Structure 1
Amino acid sequence: MSLFAELRLIPFSRLTNGSRWRVEAMRSYSAPQLLWITKGQGRITVGGVTRGYGAHNAVFIPAHTMHGFEMTSQVYGTAIVFSGMPDMELPDGPHHLRIRDGAVQAELTILVESLQRELDGRRPESKRAIRHLAGLVSVWLDRQILLEEDGPRRPDSARRLASGFAALVEKDFRSAKSVSDYAAELGVTPTHLTRVCNRTCGRTASDLLAERKISEAQRLLADTRAPIKEIASALGYASPAYFTRAFQARAGASPTTFRKGH
């Protein structure tokens, strides 16, 4: 396994150079990641909860957690992707930390810069150094979570419900399950679930579900040669025609047009 398979550092400038839909679409990754934002501001949705972010914010996103990141070319920072590190001690849930202490900000920045030197330089014992530095990043993260307002806050019932819904969507969005099905599984009414999602992230429950399906459809259209009818079936749509209408309404182009452009 190469060093690059174990940990990756992705500057935000590389993310914003790509297609905007890839950055902002609701999606998830198979590896945990820590976003270290050093300049700029915007909004980020993680696990059904939307918050504003600014400079010196650290956002931890566990593996397989649905999220969307609003980002412009004026936002700077680094994504630390802990791929290939199953033994790394990292938080189980998402965290959004606002780091106000300059010394603590510098601590993480120095760790990121040290990781980058090890990844770039192919120095002796780089693999060992990278694993130790990644461990120090995880310690830094745990400390800030523990110190945040004298201990982590217990999320309110609305955020717990929204996070539960987002987790179920991430697990089952390829099925034909409706918002009513998800609400029943969570033990609430569809109306209550929609009200809560509106409160926590400014989207209805139907919007969150549709955005996750369409972002996956965009990825499949851009990155594979799978026929459109197969993509529609794989994402739980009743027919290719229904999928095409839903896709065009969300993406602003038909699946065929979108694929040609990417």
Structure 2
Amino acid sequence: MHDRANNPPTAATPSADGAPADPAPAQLRMIPIPRLAAHGRWRVEAMRSLNEPMLLWFTRGQGRITVSGVTRGYGPHNAIFLPAGVMHGFDVSSHVFGTAVFFGAARGLPLPETPLHLRIRDQQPQAELTGILDNIHRELEGGRPGYDRAAGHHLGLLGVWIERQVAAQDGAPAPDAAARLVARFTALVERDFRSGLGVADYAAALGVTPTHLTRVCRQCCGRSAHEIVQDRVLFEARKLLKETDLPVGEVSRALGFTTAAYFTRAFQNAVGKTPSAFRRGA
């Protein structure tokens, strides 16, 4: 984004750039996918990441999901696993239903380190996953003695289920060069989006031209490199405005804008409201 501070790449720790620290991952929980968008579809559609692993299990409807800069379609009986820190966003219509499992601190489970998009065609693994999720939900909602330990054991079975599905689908084609480049780009954006870096800075860090970077981004997800950066920054801006009491000027500074006035213009152009109006509405 233009007129933002052009600082060199850093490790992107929140304390280094003034942004509030991300909260520690919450406990294990399950949320119906439609409810994720109940407080604004930007919460699921804009590019963002989580500080905990998540599994999306779609049981009805279809749409598109972008993971690490690559967009694919999803439909019923698709399971999508996202490790912590992976940039993603997906559209969800009124016809989409399913479950999102947030792993919390993951309890030391041996989970995959890369995103997975599993299309579960056989009824047996579909039924196995449904049973595991039902058991986790029953423990979390029942409040019986030891419910948290019991839910944790079922979560371990979920990890085993994921491992088995990966083994069953072994042999899937490896990502091509464009997908690998966009994945590296989105990882850099996720690390440094608070620093005010522009597309030219990211392209230089990746050893490519801005034109080439934008071309492969459009090829993989239909968005330019600039749109990916802007989307990630604006998601964080909306999150800070809704969930914190930081003044607009502090939000602007935390996200690498050189002035609060430019932040306000950029936010209003993209969202249709000023930061203050968005906060009041939220």
Range class of TM-score, shorter chain: over 0.9
Deviation at residue 9 of structure 1 after TM alignment: 0.7
Query: Which residue number in structure 2 is paired with residue 37 of structure 1?
Result: 58
Q: What does residue range 62-211 of structure 1 map to in structure 2 within 5 Å?
A: 62-148=83-169, 150-211=170-231
Which runs of 5 or more structure 2 residues have no equivalent in the other structure?
A: 1-24
2: distance between equivalents of 1:205 and 1:16? 25
Report the Cα distance in structure 2 between the residues aligned to 1:248 and 1:127, rounded to whole angstroms: 44
Which structure has the higher relative contact order (CA within 8 Å, separation 6+)? 2
Q: Percent identity?
A: 55
TM-score of the superposition, structure 1-length normalised?
A: 0.94
Render the CA deviation track for 1:197-246: whole Å, top value 9, x for unaligned. 00111000000000000110011111112111111111011211211121
1:243-262 map, 5 Å: 243-262=263-282
TM-score, normalised relative to structure 2: 0.88
Q: Deviations over 1:38-81 (max 9, x none)?
A: 00111111111111110000011110111112112211100111
How far residue 139 of structure 1 moved from its aligned partner, in angstroms, is 1.1
Q: Distance in 2 between matches of 1:142 and 1:95?
A: 11
Question: Is the 8 Å Cα contact of residues 146 and 152 (structure 1) preserved in structure 2?
Answer: no
Amino acid at match of 1:126: Y
Question: CA 1:248 to 1:57, structure 2 compared with 1: closer, same or farther past 3 Å?
Answer: same
State the number of aligned residues: 258
User: Residue 95 of structure 1 aligns to which amino acid in structure 2?
Assistant: L
Kindly indicate whether the alpha-carbon contact (under 8 Å) linking 1:33 and 1:61 is maintained by their aligned counterparts in 2: yes
Task: Quote how far apart the aligned CAs of 1:86 are.
Answer: 4.4
How far did residue 146 of structure 1 move? 2.0
CA RMSD, aligned part only? 1.4
Output the CA distance in 2 between the equivalents of 1:30 and 1:153. Answer: 28
Say if 2:107 and 2:152, in contact at 8 Å, map to a contact too: no
User: Within 5 A, what are the aligned runs for 1:226-237?
Assistant: 226-237=246-257
Higher mean C-alpha deviation, range 134-143 or range 120-129: 120-129
